[in-house]
């Protein structure tokens, strides 16, 4: 009984790891293609690109910084990446030129959770003005998105759910159009889960950055486990890394960590009924 359950769990995890590898490969291809398209549009050298005067200097500079960060500066947090792509999407160039907007939306999709991307896809949340109302809306939006990307700051005396509840209500207050958006209803329902999972990813990313000194894309499972135990307590760390399998060098790859975090809970063996 125990053996068969363990085998099924291992098989499920292996399939999830394979899917993560496959999805990550496709996502990376799409992101790289979008970045190259954006660079081509900025330079006017890409096939079928915009006229050389279509993008002003501000647009070229901001898009150039965004692409440089995505391709070369891997230490930027998802929240920082979001700020860059959102700012670019609010540029007149992105609003007036479908090619630019399409490529920037590919970038946005790579930065935010899929459920949140569906909201941006369904509702226009891109604020082009700097009037008082738009600044208020932008502040509320940034706090909410940053929370869902792992940067949820909880004041003393409160818990994550309470802070997120305020952020959700503020979003609905400043963007009334969300009331009729099915994609928003999903985000509202799952906001706490999305935010806490993002915090966990952020923690693991920092751990991997520290432990993976040679930038191999793998970390020693023993080091990760001991560090996680210090930060999360032993029981929580054990549940988090349950089923993790190291390679012959005792290391585990980032995609396998992602699969561990996003898997459904492992099934426990049914208790043996006494006769």
Q: Per-residue DSSP letters for 205-254? A: HHHHHHH-TT--SEEEHHHHHHHHHHHH-HHHHHHHTTT----TTSEEEH
- DSSP letter at 76 equals S
User: What gap in Å lies between CA 48 and CA 45, rounded to an integer?
Assistant: 9
212-262 falls under which CATH superfamily? EF-hand (1.10.238.10)
Task: Look at the pTM and tell me if it is higher than 0.85.
Answer: no
Beta bridge partners of 218: 253
Report the pLDDT averaged over residues 138-165: 91
Contact 100, 46 (CB under 8 A): no
Residue 134 is predicted with a pLDDT of 92
Contact 209, 233 (CB under 8 A): no
Contact 125, 184 (CB under 8 A): no
Higher pLDDT, 65 or 17: 65
pLDDT in tens, 165-213: 999 999 999 999 999 999 999 999 999 888 877 877 777 777 777 777 7
Domain boundaries, the chain: 22-46+53-111, 212-262
pLDDT in tens, 72-129: 776 788 899 999 999 999 998 888 889 999 999 999 998 898 999 999 999 999 998 8
């Amino acid at each position: 009984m125990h053996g068969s359950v363990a085998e099924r769990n291992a098989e499920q995890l292996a399939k999830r790891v394979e899917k993560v590898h496959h999805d990550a490969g496709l996502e990376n291809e799409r992101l790289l293609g979008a970045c190259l398209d954006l660079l081509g549009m900025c330079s006017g050298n890409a096939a079928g690109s915009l006229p050389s005067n279509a993008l002003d200097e501000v647009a070229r500079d901001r898009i150039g910084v965004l692409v440089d960060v995505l391709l070369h500066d891997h230490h930027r947090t998802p929240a920082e990446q979001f700020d860059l792509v959102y700012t670019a999407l609010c540029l007149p160039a992105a609003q007036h030129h479908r090619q630019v907007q399409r490529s920037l939306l590919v970038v946005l999709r790579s930065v935010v959770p899929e459920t949140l991307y569906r909201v941006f896809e369904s509702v226009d949340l891109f604020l082009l003005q700097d009037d008082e109302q738009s600044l208020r809306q932008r502040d509320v939006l940034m706090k909410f998105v940053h929370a869902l990307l792992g940067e949820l700051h909880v004041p003393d005396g409160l818990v994550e759910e309470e802070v997120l509840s305020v952020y959700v209500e503020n979003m609905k207050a400043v963007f009334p159009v969300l009331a009729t958006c099915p994609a928003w209803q999903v985000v509202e329902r799952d906001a706490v889960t999305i935010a806490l999972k993002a915090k966990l990813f952020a923690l693991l990313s920092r751990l991997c950055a520290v432990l993976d000194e040679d930038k191999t894309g793998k970390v020693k499972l023993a080091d990760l486990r001991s560090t996680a135990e210090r930060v999360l307590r032993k029981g929580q760390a054990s549940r988090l890394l349950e089923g993790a399998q190291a390679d012959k060098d005792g290391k585990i790859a980032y995609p396998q960590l992602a699969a561990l975090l996003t898997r459904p809970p492992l099934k426990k063996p049914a208790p043996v009924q006494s006769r």
